[in-house]
């Protein structure tokens, strides 16, 4: 029944060339800011190492303190199998550009044989990291790097009491790297697969270490390092050549698609007079020209909150879009009308309107989220300051305006691809980039960071502020 | 012969797990489109991306219109774009002295902290003097202002030598360093100025959009090694091309 209803709504909203444009897809994109945050967190979420593992450690030779962030050697150091080695409680996360942690050598003890590195889950917990296969370690007594063979190789300076030593995995370059007192010591290829645990070890009387999994600021400028690595990555992609003016073409088609006509005209004018020949080079007019000035006006009306006029204009220009009272477009417009009543503090009108126009949508599951939150606005004395105050913000109007825009585009008899009504060229490119980037990471054993537009845009704004 | 090859290939794909494993993973169009549909992109973020492009490229009027029509707040004060564009235009039309003054009005530390930029502006000034046929003025400027800079820096010296060489040729259009007189030289200097001002405003000197487009091309190339999937080959249409298997 519900499914039937949905398909009715879709076909009613898109009588165009018999193609099926489902603006419900736009509605399914509707999310409250809380949902956005949740979704973003979910994509990035990965358990992080936060403390030392007190269960699976060589308890005979080392003791981890109660804060689970420091370790001390207990044994008497007789041979190579009485190492006090401790792993972190969880493996290093992989869905990021770089993972990094540090240890502080509180006391280098009798022989200064502290070490730091990464080990696999099956690591023998009585050996130094790097002595066994599937592990690597930087050792304090000789400054050597150990990579799974018994013999180490010259790598960096020795380290002792008072030094801060860091170990990291660079997933972009597929390298391990170590730091000492805030400076990079060196990097080498990461040839170990599978989950890797941050690991530290003590191996002689009196040796004592603390670890920092990021709770405290790092000694090494890890943010700067990541930025540099990303720049290096970018310099690789920067070598690729783009067709000239491609960005102009894409921005222009974005403005066309959404009916930002004033911006578009201004953009065309600027490009006609600006010297660096940024003119359209023979690209055919995109199909989004369709109904441009109507779409612009409809957008303006919705953005100014005038939903009554929007209905009138639609009735006049594109009656098929609002013919079905049960359609998605009608729902979105009605709910927006309701929101505008709330904004104007006409609560009684809002209630009357909701009873007449919105109640019938209550049984429709797809509308549930938006409808419930909209109606909830009635409960607040100052709805703009409530947790659902975002409904009164500009993006909500724009969301409705975009849906109407898509519905109008779908009435174009010349429309070939129904997808093109919903998504601008820019959006399709960004979707492709997102999927490609996530797929690529999946092939890479889930290592590295993947593209998310929101993160990208936010980073860019953060750098403006700093 | 043809037939047997087809038969062999079919057999291969039916019961040779080895060849299956070594071949690329194939993602059908349906599967891919489902993945594409699952991507959630915020309209505001796309608007910000477009705004970033307009602001960085210096389309101040367009940015203002876009702010009104989309409700997107520009990341920097639009007035600063106007200033930046005026400087850029001054260089593009050969008014280097005006450009230098305007840069100093904007932020006197820009030229102090960018000796290379300052040198390129002075070089451009010399080029403009030569272009205008003001020979004695050009000579004086070269000796008093530019020559001391060449003593500091070998690259600067070479640049000065090339530029001064323009003076020796009566028919400067055919001189070996004639490209210095091209519009492209002005544009080069102008874009250097543009970048320096943006940097001084803690703004990236390049818009985000082109680098994302490059990232798309790069990521598709990388993924090609592992999988056959619907690609976008023409960025202007963003149409998916079925994977060739």
Among A48-52, A281-285, B117-121, B176-180, the range scoring the smallest mean pLDDT is: A281-285
Does residue B188 sit in the same domain as residue B218?
no
Report if residue B178 sits inside a domain.
yes
Mean pLDDT of chain B: 84
Report if residue B243 sits inside a domain.
yes
Report if residue B93 sits inside a domain.
yes
Determine, for residues A276 and B76 on separate chains, whether the beta-carbon distance falls below 8 Å. no
**Structural domain count of chain B:** 2
Question: What tokens appear for B87 in the block?
Answer: 């400087």
Does residue B164 sit in the same domain as residue B104?
yes
Residue of A433, A444, A462, A463 for testing the chain B interface, max B β-carbons within 10 Å: A433
Among A33-37, A302-306, B2-6, B23-27, the range scoring the smallest mean pLDDT is: B2-6
Does residue B165 sit in the same domain as residue B229?
no
Determine, for residues A270 and B59 on separate chains, whether the beta-carbon distance falls below 8 Å. yes
Among the four given CATH numbers 2.60.120.920, 2.60.34.10, 1.20.1260.10, 3.30.1600.10, the one describing domain A62-212 = 2.60.120.920
Report how far apart, in Å, the C-alpha atoms of A401 and of each of A397, A419, B57, B81 are.
Answer: 6, 17, 28, 29
- Residue-wise pLDDT tens digits, B230-243: 999 999 889 999 88
**Please, what is the Cα angle at A326 between A323 and A327, to 5 degrees?**
70
**CA dist., res. B150 & res. B192, Å (int):** 20
Q: What's the distance, Cα to Cα, between the start and end of chain A in Å?
A: 54
Does residue B217 sit in the same domain as residue B168?
no
Residue A286 exposed, middle or buried by CB count within 10 Å (0-12, 13-18, 19+): middle
* Nearest C-alpha in A relative to B202: A464
DSSP letters spanning A116-136: EEEEETT--TTS-TTTSTTEE
DSSP letters spanning A236-299: HHHTSPPPTTHHHHHHHHHHHHTT-HHHHHHHHHHHHH-SS-----SPPPPGGGTTHHHHHHHH
Q: What is the pLDDT of residue A209?
A: 92
Does residue B175 sit in the same domain as residue B237?
no
Mean pLDDT value of segment B139-167:
85
A402 contacts on B by Cβ (under 8 Å): 43
DSSP state of B239: P
Determine, for residues B202 and A36 on separate chains, whether the beta-carbon distance falls below 8 Å. no
Determine, for residues B46 and A430 on separate chains, whether the beta-carbon distance falls below 8 Å. yes
Contact in structure between A19 and A10 (CB atoms under 8 Å): no
Q: Which helix (H) or strand (E) holds A86?
A: strand A84-87
**CA dist., res. A136 & res. A117, Å (int):** 5
Please name the residues between 99 and 138 in chain B that touch chain A, using a CB distance below 8 Å: none
Question: What tokens appear for A216 in the block?
Answer: 């405290």
Contact in structure between A62 and A72 (CB atoms under 8 Å): yes
Does residue B111 sit in the same domain as residue B170?
yes
Confidence of residue B10 (pLDDT cuts 50, 70, 90): very low
Determine, for residues B227 and A249 on separate chains, whether the beta-carbon distance falls below 8 Å. no
Contact in structure between A436 and B220 (CB atoms under 8 Å): yes
Determine, for residues B46 and A453 on separate chains, whether the beta-carbon distance falls below 8 Å. yes
pLDDT in tens, chain A (466 residues): 333 333 333 333 333 333 345 555 654 455 666 777 777 667 667 888 998 887 765 556 677 777 888 888 887 766 667 788 889 999 999 999 999 999 999 998 888 889 999 999 888 777 889 888 899 999 999 999 999 887 889 999 999 999 999 999 999 999 999 999 999 999 999 989 889 999 999 888 889 999 999 999 999 999 999 999 988 888 888 888 888 789 999 999 999 999 999 999 999 988 875 444 334 444 455 567 889 999 999 999 999 999 999 999 999 999 999 998 888 889 899 999 999 999 999 999 999 999 999 888 877 777 777 888 888 898 888 888 888 888 898 888 998 999 999 999 988 888 777 778 888 999 999 999 999 999 999 998 889 888 888 888 877 665 554 4
Does residue B194 sit in the same domain as residue B239?
no
Report if residue B24 sits inside a domain.
no
Give me the half-sphere count of Cα atoms (radius 13 Å) on the Cβ side of residue A237: 18
Among the partner residues B41, B75, B207, nearest to A427 by beta-carbon distance: B41
Q: What is the pLDDT of residue A171?
A: 93
Nearest alpha carbon to residue A413 among A331, A320, A323: A320
Q: What is the pLDDT of residue A421?
A: 84
Report if residue B224 sits inside a domain.
yes
Report if residue B82 sits inside a domain.
yes
B226 contacts on A by Cβ (under 8 Å): 439-440, 443
Confidence of residue B12 (pLDDT cuts 50, 70, 90): very low
Domain range holding B236?
213-245
Determine, for residues A436 and B70 on separate chains, whether the beta-carbon distance falls below 8 Å. no
DSSP state of B172: G
B45 contacts on A by Cβ (under 8 Å): 453-454, 457
Does residue B173 sit in the same domain as residue B231?
no
Residue of A417, A452, A457, A464 for testing the chain B interface, max B β-carbons within 10 Å: A457
Report if residue B123 sits inside a domain.
yes
Among the partner residues B52, B61, B71, nearest to A398 by beta-carbon distance: B71
Contact in structure between A313 and A321 (CB atoms under 8 Å): no
Among the partner residues A242, A260, A430, nearest to B66 by beta-carbon distance: A260
User: Domain residues of chain A, as ranges?
Assistant: 2-39+244-443, 62-212
Question: What tokens appear for B36 in the block?
Answer: 């594409």
Does residue B128 sit in the same domain as residue B193?
yes
B61 contacts on A by Cβ (under 8 Å): 266, 269-270
Determine, for residues A443 and B235 on separate chains, whether the beta-carbon distance falls below 8 Å. no
């Amino acid at each position: 029944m519900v499914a039937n209803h949905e398909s009715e709504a879709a076909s009613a909203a898109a009588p165009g060339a018999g193609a099926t444009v489902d603006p419900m897809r736009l509605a399914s994109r509707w999310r409250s800011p809380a949902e956005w945050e949740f979704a973003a967190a979910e994509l990035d979420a990965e358990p992080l190492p936060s403390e030392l593992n007190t269960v699976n450690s060589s308890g005979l030779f080392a003791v981890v303190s109660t804060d689970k962030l420091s370790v001390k050697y207990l044994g008497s150091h007789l041979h190579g199998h009485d190492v006090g080695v401790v792993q972190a409680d969880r493996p290093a996360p992989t869905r990021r550009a770089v993972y990094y942690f540090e240890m502080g050598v509180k006391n280098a003890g009798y022989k200064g044989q502290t070490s730091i590195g990464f080990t696999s889950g099956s690591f023998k917990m009585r050996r130094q990291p790097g002595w066994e296969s599937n592990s690597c370690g930087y050792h304090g007594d000789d400054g050597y790097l150990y990579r799974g063979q018994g013999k180490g190789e010259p790598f960096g300076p020795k380290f002792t009491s008072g030094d801060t030593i860091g170990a990291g995995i660079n997933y972009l370059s597929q390298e391990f790297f170590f730091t000492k007192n805030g400076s990079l010591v060196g990097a080498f290829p990461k040839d170990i697969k599978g989950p890797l645990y941050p690991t530290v070890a003590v191996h002689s009387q009196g040796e004592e270490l603390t670890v920092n999994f990021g709770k405290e600021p790092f000694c090494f400028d890890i943010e700067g390092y990541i930025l540099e690595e990303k720049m290096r990555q970018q310099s690789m992609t920067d070598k690729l050549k783009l067709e000239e003016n491609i960005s102009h073409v894409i921005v222009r088609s974005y403005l066309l698609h959404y009916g930002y006509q004033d911006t578009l005209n201004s953009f065309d004018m600027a490009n006609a007079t600006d010297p660096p020949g940024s003119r359209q080079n023979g690209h055919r007019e995109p199909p989004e020209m369709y109904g441009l000035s109507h779409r612009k006006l409809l957008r303006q009306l919705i953005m100014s909150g005038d939903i009554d006029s929007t209905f009138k204009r639609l009735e006049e220009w594109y009656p098929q879009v609002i013919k079905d009272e049960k359609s998605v477009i009608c729902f979105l417009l009605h709910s927006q009308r309701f929101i505008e009543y709330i904004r104007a503090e006409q609560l009684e009108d809002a209630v009357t309107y909701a009873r007449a126009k919105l109640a019938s949508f209550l049984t429709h599951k797809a509308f549930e989220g938006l409808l419930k939150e909209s109606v909830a606005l009635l409960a607040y004395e100052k709805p703009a300051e409530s947790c659902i105050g975002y409904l009164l913000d500009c993006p909500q109007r724009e969301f409705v305006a975009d849906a109407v825009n898509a519905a109008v585009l779908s009435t174009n008899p010349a429309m070939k691809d129904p997808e093109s009504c919903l998504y601008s060229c820019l959006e399709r490119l960004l979707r492709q980039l997102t999927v490609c980037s996530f797929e690529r990471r999946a092939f890479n054993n889930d290592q590295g960071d993947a593209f998310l537009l929101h993160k990208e845009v936010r980073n860019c704004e953060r750098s403006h502020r700093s | 012969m043809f037939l047997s090859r087809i038969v062999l290939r079919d057999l291969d794909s039916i019961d040779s797990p080895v060849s299956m494993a070594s071949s690329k993973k194939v993602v059908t169009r349906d599967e891919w489109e489902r993945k594409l549909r699952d991507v959630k992109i915020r309209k505001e973020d796309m608007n910000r991306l477009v705004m970033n492009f307009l602001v960085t490229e210096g389309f101040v009027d367009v940015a203002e219109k876009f702010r009104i029509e989309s409700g997107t707040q520009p990341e920097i004060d639009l007035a600063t774009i106007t200033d930046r564009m005026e400087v850029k235009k001054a260089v593009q039309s050969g008014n280097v002295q005006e450009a230098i003054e305007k840069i100093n009005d904007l932020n006197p530390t820009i030229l102090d902290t960018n000796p290379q930029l300052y040198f390129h502006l002075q070089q451009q000034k010399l080029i403009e003097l030569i272009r205008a046929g003001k020979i004695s003025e050009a000579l004086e400027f070269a000796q008093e202002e530019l020559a001391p800079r060449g003593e500091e820096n070998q690259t600067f010296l070479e640049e000065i030598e090339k530029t001064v060489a323009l003076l020796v040729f009566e028919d400067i259009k055919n001189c070996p360093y004639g490209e210095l007189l091209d519009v492209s030289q002005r544009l080069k200097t102008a874009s250097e100025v543009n970048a320096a001002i943006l940097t001084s405003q803690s703004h990236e000197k390049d818009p985000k959009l082109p680098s994302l487009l490059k990232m798309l091309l790069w990521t598709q190339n990388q993924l090609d090694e592992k999988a056959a999937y619907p690609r976008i080959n023409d960025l202007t249409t963003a149409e998916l091309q079925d994977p060739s298997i």
